[in-house]
Amino acid sequence: MNRWEGLDEFVAVAESGQFTAAAERLGLSSSHVSRQIARLEERLQTRLFYRSTRRVALTEAGQTFLQHCQRLLDAREEALRAVSDLASEPKGLLRMTCAVAYGERFIVPLVNQFMAAHPQLRVEIELSNRTLDLVHEGLDLAIRLGRLQDSRLVATRLAPRVMHLCAAPDYLERYGRPHSLSELARHNCLIGSSDHWAFQQEGRELSLRVQGNWRCNSGQAVLDAALRGFGLCQLPDYYVLEHLRSGALVSLLEQHQPPNTAVWALYPQQRHLSPKVRQLVDCLKEGLAERPEYH
């Protein structure tokens, strides 16, 4: 005997409250639905419904059984969609957002590469340094940097993100090298989007407010000022690794380097992720892994 037999009929009757309405919903006859419910009750050796001439109501056992059946049927449908979506072509409109500089340099080229392979897809990208509300703005996907705060969203880690405190050798020759966090107050700090820099001390995360005579909300601009010897900077690895390797910048206070953050793909919570979002996230993860900045 098929152990799934009668479950669809049971859920349809329980949700509609009538055998006739359930039969119409399933495209079956009322007599067939009634027989399936009777056989199900016989197999379970318990009554699932109180019946009257106009309506049916769930028994206590029926209410418990309904909760489990709804989860089972949802999982069944999700499994079927997941398998069929493996061969689905990404199509339709995909709306996404990302920070401006990171998006221009890393994300948009990979999205363009993805679109070239999937001509039925349309993409709208909003590059913004504001944290947009995905649900309110009707966005399918956001690329976020650093630490996550919105627990309502599902997150997939795309790439690492390590923050480095560094300075040019000529700045250090003129003003000395800091050997402790307390010495940062004596240095000119090149401030980007925030004047609070992240560190760790004795296993604890620490946020220090820094000061300086230069500020710009652009990581590339901060990097240029640091390379010119204007002061200390704290920037993610993808800005500075090349210059640390060449010696144009020197890494500082590595023992206080903050715990690694990451580059994240975020999307609204839903039981089944659409093929266009799922495949684009996979493409971004693979593409970023191939970038020399992450090697």
CB neighbour list of residue 111: distance below 8 Å, 6 or more residues apart: 96, 123, 125, 280, 284
> How many C-beta atoms surround the C-beta of residue 216 within 10 A?
14
What's the rounded mean pLDDT across residues 265-272?
77
- Does residue 223 belong to any structural domain of this protein? yes
Residue with tokens 């996979």: 282
Q: What is the mean pLDDT of the chain?
A: 89
- CATH code of residue 125: 3.40.190.10
Are residue 167 and residue 248 in the same domain, yes or no?
yes
143-190 pLDDT, tens digit per residue, is 999 887 766 788 899 999 999 999 999 999 999 999 999 999 999 999
Are residue 157 and residue 265 in the same domain, yes or no?
yes
H helix intervals, 126-269: 134-137, 169-175, 219-227, 237-246
Is 71:188 a contact under the CB 8 Å cutoff?
no
- CATH code of residue 42: 1.10.10.10
Measured between its terminal Cα atoms, the distance across the chain in Å is 57
How far is residue 23's CA from residue 12's CA, in Å, rounded to a whole number?
8
Q: Does the pLDDT of residue 229 top 90, yes or no?
A: yes
Residue with tokens 């380097």: 257
Are residue 193 and residue 139 in the same domain, yes or no?
no
How far is residue 252's CA from residue 183's CA, in Å, rounded to a whole number?
12
Band of residue 132 on the pLDDT scale cut at 50, 70, 90: confident
Are residue 248 and residue 283 in the same domain, yes or no?
no
Q: Does the pLDDT of residue 130 top 90, yes or no?
A: no
DSSP tag of 257:
P
Q: What is the pLDDT of residue 109?
A: 96
Q: What is the pLDDT of residue 58?
A: 92
Between 294 and 66, the more confident residue is 66
Burial class (CB in 10 A: 0-12, 13-18, 19+), 218: middle
Q: What is the pLDDT of residue 52?
A: 78
Q: Does the pLDDT of residue 86 top 70, yes or no?
A: no
- Does residue 201 belong to any structural domain of this protein? yes
Are residue 149 and residue 167 in the same domain, yes or no?
no
Given 83, 118, 150, which residue is the final one in a domain? 83
Long-range CB contacts (within 8 A, 24+) of 65-68: 65/10, 66/10, 66/11, 66/14
CB neighbour list of residue 13: distance below 8 Å, 6 or more residues apart: 19, 22, 33, 37, 49, 56
Band of residue 91 on the pLDDT scale cut at 50, 70, 90: confident
- Classify 275 as helix, strand or coil: helix
**Residue numbers of the domain that contains 32:** 7-83
1-37 pLDDT, tens digit per residue, is 567 788 999 999 998 888 988 899 889 998 999 999 9
Are residue 190 and residue 112 in the same domain, yes or no?
no
State how many domains the chain has.
3
Q: Does the pLDDT of residue 85 top 70, yes or no?
A: no
Are residue 268 and residue 220 in the same domain, yes or no?
no
Are residue 137 and residue 222 in the same domain, yes or no?
no
Are residue 42 and residue 17 in the same domain, yes or no?
yes
Is 293:238 a contact under the CB 8 Å cutoff?
yes
* Total count of residues recorded for the chain: 295
Between 4 and 45, the more confident residue is 45
Q: Does the pLDDT of residue 272 top 90, yes or no?
A: no
Q: Does the pLDDT of residue 253 top 60, yes or no?
A: yes
Are residue 121 and residue 56 in the same domain, yes or no?
no
Residue with tokens 């715990």: 259
> How many C-beta atoms surround the C-beta of residue 133 within 10 A?
13
- Does residue 96 belong to any structural domain of this protein? yes
**Whole-prediction pTM:** 0.66
